[in-house]
A = this chain, B = another copy of it.
């Protein structure tokens, strides 16, 4: 598989042109493309431009409102509920986290729940956005398809339900934790399938509870609900299955119960994805101390005698620096896919190779 590198701004421009052809308003297309390209820059290849084909399918099936306008449905001094109007999640999520930041600036903390959203890319983006302004952020989202089993069960009852957390550091870019509450994300199984690698035992099980290690079979079975993913902590109580299950439930409820988004086994309204954004204004809540200083002390002490310890968010920060300079690597199959999507939308192909 050949991979070439492309100028990030040309990828951003390409996505904007396609989204506008789909009917999206220019400022919303702009925000959406910025968030998507940030995933590609950060090395989170599964959540950037590679999602475009799935978005096109949703659009063609009438399950995505291209010219959605997110709006506040309920509001109080420190909270809001946002209706995403069935649009792509990226611009809705930026709107929601900005609202939470504004609430926090007034009340110390702000929480915003979202309904009628769609896939919003990497949750860590929005957490980082809040922490770049000195806030602590905790963000969760529901996901569309049940793939993860409950501790003690064998059928898929929850999504991969990610959670992101970010906090400012005194001497560097924010700490950013961004994890699924399943043992791995779906895209990890897909990546193994693309390479033909054997899966580790403990990731995927069939409906009778037997491990599936054939990665291609596992991915196909997961999408048809014939197989299920372990929660974080694996399948046994001994390794913490109930802990991953509990965390996934927490994410599910924060993301859907406050905003009336779809519950995981509700098949009528599955596209109605919900998010939750909590933002804490650190200057206001800890006015006598330095949150960023305490975070810095906590993290630097951990790395003092440990060369191999990586602080969450550091690999993505390094990828942004490297890819920002050298360009974003895209495999030829993906480039062809983007060219086809552009052609179908009526947008020109404007991807430019890095020199």
Query: Which A residues contact B (CB, under 8 angstroms)?
Result: 73-74, 76-79, 81, 106-111, 113, 136, 138, 150-155, 157-158, 163, 165, 167, 175, 177-181, 183-184, 200, 202, 232-234, 238-240, 242-247, 249-250, 252-254, 256-260, 263-266, 278, 280, 282, 284-289, 291, 294-295, 297-299, 301-302, 305-306, 308-310, 312
Contact = CB atoms under 8 A, between A and B. Distances in A.
Contact of A238 (B157, B200, B289): B200
Contact of A265 (B266, B280, B301): B301
Nearest to A168: B257
Among all A-B residue pairs, the 9 with the closest Cβ atoms: A177-B246, A79-B108, A152-B308, A78-B78, A76-B108, A78-B107, A153-B306, A265-B301, A257-B294
A260 B278 contact: no
A301 B252 CA distance: 13
Nearest to A115: B289
A157 B311 CA distance: 13
Copies in the complex: 2
Nearest to A152: B308
Nearest to A177: B246
Given A111-B285, A138-B250, A294 B153 contact: no
B153 A298 contact: no
Given A76-B108, A108-B79, A243-B232, A258 B136 contact: yes
Contact of A240 (B110, B232, B302): B232
6 contacts: A77-B78, A136-B257, A150-B306, A150-B309, A232-B244, A258-B291
A33 to B, nearest CB: 28
Contact of A263 (B150, B278, B284, B301): B301
Contact of A310 (B152, B167, B254): B152
A144 B27 CA distance: 49
Given A107-B78, A246-B179, A184 B310 contact: no
B253 A108 contact: no
A100 to B, nearest CB: 10
B81 A253 contact: no
Contact of A232 (B177, B200, B233): B233
B249 A177 contact: yes
Contact of A297 (B108, B263, B309): B263
A285 B258 contact: yes
A299 B263 CA distance: 10
B249 A247 contact: no
B284 A79 contact: yes
B113 A285 contact: yes
A177 B111 contact: no
Contacts of A111: 108-109, 280, 285
A308 B242 CA distance: 12
Contact of A294 (B263, B286, B289): B263
Contacts of A151: 309-310
Given A111-B109, A150-B306, A155-B306, A294 B78 contact: no
Contact of A298 (B155, B181, B263): B263
Given A259-B286, A260-B294, 18 more contacts: A77-B77, A78-B109, A111-B285, A113-B286, A136-B258, A150-B302, A152-B306, A152-B310, A154-B306, A163-B247, A178-B246, A179-B242, A181-B243, A183-B239, A184-B240, A232-B243, A256-B298, A258-B286
